[in-house]
Amino acid sequence: MHKKKLGNIGESIAAKYLLENGFVILKQNFYSRFGEIDIIARDTSNIIFIEVKTRKNFSCGNPSESVNYQKQLKIKNAALDFISQNNIVNTNFRFDVIEIILTDSFKINHIVNAFEL
């Protein structure tokens, strides 16, 4: 399976998971000159910028391990761009990572506050 297709499947699973758990999805695949944010969602008190990492197994470690400092910096800058473009004020923000492992079915690990601004 191609990397892009695997990523799209994981993002669809993550979006469904978020909706089933009371989140409102504001935007998927937000592109900025700084980078991309997979999912931007809202819960009762936060806007959450979510990076989705999908793997077929753990052979390369946990998927979240690939969200290194450089990736975090791109996500943070893209988030600041989103906030600015949408004139968002007086709102709490959070950065989460959702790991999807596709085996015969799938496993989801939602890491809340995976990193900070």
CA distance 36 to 110: 19
Phi, psi of 65 (to 5 degrees): -65, -20
Judged by DSSP in three states, 117 sits in coil
Could you state, in order of their start, the residue ranges of all structural domains in the chain? 3-115
Along the 117 residues of the chain, how does pLDDT read in single tens digits? 677 788 889 999 999 999 999 999 999 999 999 999 999 999 999 999 999 999 887 667 788 888 999 999 999 999 999 999 999 999 999 999 999 998 877 899 999 999 987
Structure-block tokens of residue 113: 């506050």
3-115 maps to CATH 3.40.1350.10: yes
CA distance 40 to 29: 8
Helix then strand then coil, % of the chain, to nearest 5: 35, 40, 25
Q: Edge-to-edge strand order for the sheet containing 46-55?
A: 24-32, 35-42, 46-55, 92-102, 106-115
